[in-house]
Amino acid sequence: MSTSQTAAFVRKDMLPPKDPPTSQAGLVKWLRENLFASWLNTVLTLASLFVIYLLVTHFYPWFRHSVWNANSIAECRTAIAATWGEGATGACWAMLRERWHQFIFGFYPPELYWRPIAVFLGLLLAVAPVLFTQLPRQMLLFSLTYPLLAIWLLWGGSAWPVIMIAAGFGIGYLALRILGDISAILAVVVAIVAPVLFWLFAVGPLDEVLTKVIPLAIEPVASDRFGGFLLAITIGAGGIALSLPLGIILALGRQSNMFLIKSFSVMFIEFIRGVPLITLLFVASLLLNYFLPPGTNFDIILRVMILVTMFAAAYIAEVIRGGLAALPRGQYEAADALGLDYWKAQRLIILPQALKISIPGIVSTFIGMFKDTTLVTFVGLFDPLKGIPDFIRADFNWKGIYWEPFVFVGAIFFILNFSMSRYAMYLERKLKRDHR
């Protein structure tokens, strides 16, 4: 301050900030740093641009020439030739306009489409409280009852068997509550045995009586009517919901000190991981028929779902085992030092940390499993990627359609899988914040 009196010139106000030189700002800087930093970088950039150019010039006309209004591929071709000249090729989306419902629902009776739609909306509602902890916990009650509701809505028929299954779980829960105070082991045994006995012996006669008194039934839909994304999502969602708990149990079993449990888990995991999924699907669709007595009605979707679940569970178990192994020994010892029993220690200390570490692996297993549901085409089910397009092509009107179904089905799979992966990233971020 004191020098200000002798100075010849004193700036009283701040200079306005100047723009940085053009080479150091905005787009130009970004381009220089990211695309043209070195000669190798420049070459790669130009090569990539060329590839993009090739792809766009190759595919853009095909999309641009799309036809939406036609009744057959021949009409599509005529329309494209009329608008764009002879020899032009284009997408014939008219096929989707006529057949989109088969990609979504397969052969599900059209007048009953509201049922799968309701089930799908219900699925969103049921998973919401599981995925987002800020939602009211009461919604979990709906999530618990949802699977049985979905089964009833999708397959239809009498509601009583489904209610009976729910009643069985209710009996188990009651046994656990009432006997839990007396003896923990007794309670667990009764909670398992009582519902099984109930399902085996009481359900049949009870069902008959109740159906006679109050016939509570909606139109049944057989499994062979399922197809397309309805089939993929049914198998995928069922497999995901069942394989996570099974995978956790298998992972814990593999870490167990009890010889029988440990060796069973190891054998199960290694066997399933050592066998291709297609083999298991063939077992589900063909081999089981030889073993089951003739006339047993063992639903094909249920069979496939069970094997897909087992397959995914084996992989999930290994992913979670990685999470368990990553925990420092101190965590286990701390749990022991606190005097927690095995289940409490797992539930309160070990699993929350192990699962958090395993999230990326678990989600990629789920995504892989969801995409693998298209393999059911090999056992004669109508998956959206191959089964549905193949029979649409068997209609002479659409014979010759090839890329359109791939583009359409691929886009839907991308949307579904991308949301799963985004959710996993959200979850990771959220859990990290909690820990800070």
Q: Is 286 in the site for other proteins (CB under 8 A)?
A: yes
**Pick 36 or 199: Cβ nearer other proteins:** 199
- CA dist., res. 217 & res. 63, Å (int): 47
DSSP codes, 117-163: HHHHHHHHHHHHHHH-TTS-TTHHHHHHHHHHHHHHHHH-EESHHHH
* Residue from 14, 40, 185, 394 binding other proteins (CB under 8 A): 394
Name the one range near other proteins by CB under 8 A: 7-15, 317-325, 365-373, 382-390. 382-390
Q: Is 77 in the site for other proteins (CB under 8 A)?
A: yes
**Pick 201 or 418: Cβ nearer other proteins:** 201
Window 191 to 230, contacts with other proteins (CB under 8 A): 199-200, 203-204, 222, 224-225
* Residue from 98, 264, 331, 428 binding other proteins (CB under 8 A): 98
Name the one range near other proteins by CB under 8 A: 17-25, 233-241, 266-274, 390-398. 390-398
**Pick 99 or 321: Cβ nearer other proteins:** 99
Pick from 346, 314, 352: nearest CA to 435: 352
* Residue from 33, 333, 336, 390 binding other proteins (CB under 8 A): 390
List residues bridging with 218 in a β-sheet: 157
- CA dist., res. 70 & res. 400, Å (int): 14
Secondary structure (3-state) at 92: strand
* Residue from 379, 412, 427, 431 binding other proteins (CB under 8 A): 379
Q: How many CB atoms lie under 10 A from the CB of residue 200?
A: 10
- CA dist., res. 305 & res. 150, Å (int): 15
* Residue from 243, 265, 285, 374 binding other proteins (CB under 8 A): 285
232 touches 106 (CB < 8 A): no
Q: Is 93 in the site for other proteins (CB under 8 A)?
A: no
Report how far apart the first and last C-alpha atoms of the chain are (Å, whole number). 46
Residue 246 CB, nearest approach to other proteins (Å): 17
**Pick 270 or 390: Cβ nearer other proteins:** 390
Residue 316 CB, nearest approach to other proteins (Å): 23
* Residue from 251, 389, 408, 413 binding other proteins (CB under 8 A): 389
Cα 414-415-419 angle, rounded to 5 deg: 110
Of the CA atoms within 13 Å of residue 87, those in its CB half-sphere come to 0
Secondary structure (3-state) at 81: helix
List residues bridging with 158 in a β-sheet: 217
* Residue from 91, 93, 96, 107 binding other proteins (CB under 8 A): 107
How far CA 399 is from CA of 131, 293, 299, in Å, comes to 43, 41, 32
**Pick 35 or 167: Cβ nearer other proteins:** 167
Q: Is 290 in the site for other proteins (CB under 8 A)?
A: yes
Residue 360 CB, nearest approach to other proteins (Å): 33
3-state helix, strand, coil in the chain (%, to 5): 75, 0, 20
Residue 231 CB, nearest approach to other proteins (Å): 13
**Pick 148 or 427: Cβ nearer other proteins:** 148
327 touches 353 (CB < 8 A): yes
**Pick 106 or 253: Cβ nearer other proteins:** 106
Dihedral sign, Cα of residue 396, residue 400, residue 403, residue 406:
positive
Window 120 to 159, contacts with other proteins (CB under 8 A): 151, 155
**Pick 31 or 144: Cβ nearer other proteins:** 144
Token pair of 226 as six digits: 């399922």
**What contacts 410, CB < 8 A, 6 or more positions away?**
none
| Residues at the contact surface with other proteins, assessed by CB under 8 A | 73, 77, 98-99, 101-102, 106-107, 110, 151, 155, 161, 165, 199-200, 203-204, 222, 224-225, 282, 285-286, 289-299, 302, 377-380, 382, 386-387, 389-396, 399-400, 402
